[in-house]
């Protein structure tokens, strides 16, 4: 398969890219960070572009480049995201809050919009997997922008699945579960005074989480990329 992954330079996105490359797939990673090392390590298997997925002009330009080289794309996984503005919503900087929402929602929608024309003509049923969780199913104090954005991602997935139900494509959202990533470390670094006691305690627990948590999330993504999940669309699935 030819798979585009956003947020492929770190965390779940990087782990997913490495797993899929190991399975023999071709991966094109989008990230704001340099990924030359992976390109050198996996020539012909891993390709990369520097891109801020919350910028339509950047995503559109990268989409054109990928379409020219790949010709078609079989799947898109939108891993990129940011916790953004953290704190009580009534005290946050409004512009920072807005940036948080746009980074996560636009950062999901823009890649879907850019790659849709080459996803639908794929040789097999196209797959789109978006990342939710993090406050999409219940209130998450101090993370209102992030939680609101992840909730919006779920509704976007549900809506697109309904709009495009006659196309050969499945689009779903996943909640990856408690996995130790850079977001975990950010939460710990900010401390309970900023993120709240519960979030801080949860982050400390995540830091000690076993590697199986990451593997479980990758297993779910890999299954959703496979023909075994054909016809399942418009859902929010929890990896745990």
pLDDT one-digit tens code per residue, 126-165: 999 999 987 788 888 999 999 999 999 999 999 999 999 9
For the chain, give every domain's residue range: 2-178+211-238
CATH 3.40.50.300 is right for the domain spanning 2-178+211-238: no
Distance in angstroms (rounded) separating the CA atoms of residues 33 and 29: 10
Alpha helices in the chain, H assignment, sequence order: 11-22, 36-41, 56-70, 94-119, 144-163, 182-190, 192-195, 197-207, 212-225
Distance in angstroms (rounded) separating the CA atoms of residues 28 and 228: 23
pLDDT one-digit tens code per residue, 169-225: 999 999 987 787 778 888 888 788 887 888 788 888 888 776 778 899 999 999 999
Burial of 172 (0-12, 13-18, 19+ CB in 10 A): buried
Distance in angstroms (rounded) separating the CA atoms of residues 223 and 229: 7
pLDDT one-digit tens code per residue, 47-105: 999 999 999 999 999 999 998 888 889 999 999 988 899 999 999 999 999 999 999 99
Distance in angstroms (rounded) separating the CA atoms of residues 143 and 146: 5
Strand-pair category, 46-50 with 75-78: unpaired
CA of 240: how far to CAs of 76, 80, 87, 101, in Å? 22, 20, 27, 25
Distance in angstroms (rounded) separating the CA atoms of residues 71 and 60: 15
């Amino acid at each position: 398969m030819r798979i585009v992954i956003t947020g492929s330079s770190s965390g779940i996105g990087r782990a997913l890219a490495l797993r899929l490359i190991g399975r023999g797939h071709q991966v094109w990673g989008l990230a704001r960070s340099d990924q030359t090392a992976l390109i050198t390590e996996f020539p012909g298997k891993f390709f990369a572009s520097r891109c801020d997925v919350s910028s339509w002009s950047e995503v559109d330009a990268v989409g054109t480049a990928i379409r020219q080289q790949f010709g078609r794309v079989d799947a898109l996984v939108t891993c990129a995201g940011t916790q953004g503005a953290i704190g009580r919503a009534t005290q946050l900087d409004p512009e920072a809050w807005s940036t948080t929402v746009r980074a996560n929602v636009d950062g999901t929608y823009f890649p879907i919009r850019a790659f849709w024309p080459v996803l639908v003509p794929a040789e097999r049923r196209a797959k789109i997997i978006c990342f939710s969780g993090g406050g999409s199913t219940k209130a998450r104090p101090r993370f209102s922008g992030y939680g609101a954005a992840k909730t919006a991602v779920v509704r976007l997935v549900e809506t697109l699945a309904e709009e495009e139900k006659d196309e050969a494509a499945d689009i779903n959202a996943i909640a990856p579960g408690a996995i130790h990533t850079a977001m975990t470390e950010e939460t710990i670094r900010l401390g309970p005074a900023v993120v709240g006691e519960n979030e801080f305690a949860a982050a400390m627990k995540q830091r000690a989480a076993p590697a199986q948590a990451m593997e479980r999330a990758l297993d779910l993504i890999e299954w959703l990329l496979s023909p075994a999940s054909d016809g399942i669309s418009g859902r929010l699935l929890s990896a745990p």
